[in-house]
Amino acid sequence: MYGAERGKKRRAAENCFSTVRQITNALRDAHGLVDLRITLRVWHSEDSKEKLDVAIKSGHFQLHTLYSDSFQDLEGIIDNQKHLRLFGIDYNPRAERYFNVSKLIKNLCHSQIDSKRKLPYIFMFSIGGYSGDISELTLFPELCRPGHAFTLCEAIATSLRTDCYNFIRTDCNFIIHIFDFTHAEAATICKLIEGMAQHLFAGCEHFTMRVQTRAVQGTALKPWRIPGFLTSISQFRQLQYLEFDVPGDKSVLHCAAIDLRSFLLEELSFAYPTLEVVTVRNSVKRARLKSPCWEIVTENCAYSYNR
């Protein structure tokens, strides 16, 4: 059984390498190419990764749209593709892979701030199962230029609708990832939520806000109290699952859960009768609140997105 599994993986890697070779050969002559979407659903070697990187960065073509998996040299591609407008990064939803890619995007965010560098619109997405449908989609408010939130959302929606293979699942988890809660613009966060509701996620059932900032010792972050947040998520008429990922220890999580329950009982549950489960979590624990009583149940996390 073990040998058969190894053989299957080896054949998959060989097929992938063969596919990459064909793609890289074709890209050398694709001088007018402006829209490129490559997603390799299986593991591929460092050699095949490097070949793809070189082909995309070669200068044989200048892309406007690129979908690429998270194994690629993302920063190098952005540096070499000067006309890139939209960059969709396909990633494995496992926490470790997500963390590695989001760390790179955080560095890009800092470089944009420090050098006033103009980056393409960047988003992350994950393909779920064998259907090829998109199961997660992540936006980063700090990468969104002022006044461009609706434009970004419209660009993503238009691009995804031209893809014959990837459809948005009805239970797709829409994620807003905030690197630094103290610097993120509340207005931009809310506009991104409203923009995605208008252009792509009118039937959103699952929404997550992921905050990476390290909280001040003993202080709980409360992203649900961002001004305008309640109004913005009201655009999601079928919202069932609401999740907040925040940094902090066990006591901070407990304080956050108490405040979240208060917010639920005072405002949220009345405004959204479809809501079933609300969760706030840190690196090791999560507090789940379920309708209709919204009692707090704390349990261990299997994985963490906060580092």
Mind listing the pLDDT tens digit of every residue in the chain (307 residues)? 455 666 666 666 667 777 788 888 888 888 899 999 887 655 556 667 778 888 888 888 999 999 987 666 778 888 889 899 999 988 876 656 677 778 888 887 776 655 666 789 999 988 876 566 888 899 999 888 888 999 999 999 999 888 755 667 777 899 999 988 776 788 999 999 999 999 888 888 999 999 987 555 556 688 999 999 999 998 998 999 999 999 888 888 999 999 999 999 998 888 888 999 999 998 889 999 999 999 999 998 765 555 5
Question: Which structure tokens are listed for 104?
Answer: 């790179």
The pLDDT of residue 44: 57
Write the CB contacts of 142 (distance below 8 Å, at least 6 apart in sequence). Answer: 109, 113, 178, 179, 180, 183, 184
Per-residue pLDDT at 5 = 62
The CA distance from 138 to 124, in Å, is 5
- Nearest-5° Cα angle at 247, 70 to 234: 80
Predicted local confidence at residue 9, as pLDDT: 62
Identify the helix (H) or strand (E) that includes residue 177: strand 168-178
pLDDT at residue 23 in the model = 85
pLDDT, residue 7, reads 64
| Placement of tokens 């190419």 in the chain | 33
Q: 108-114 long-range contacts, Cβ below 8 Å, gap at least 24?
A: 108/74, 108/75, 108/78, 108/143, 109/140, 109/142, 109/143, 109/179, 112/143, 113/142
pTM of the model: 0.86
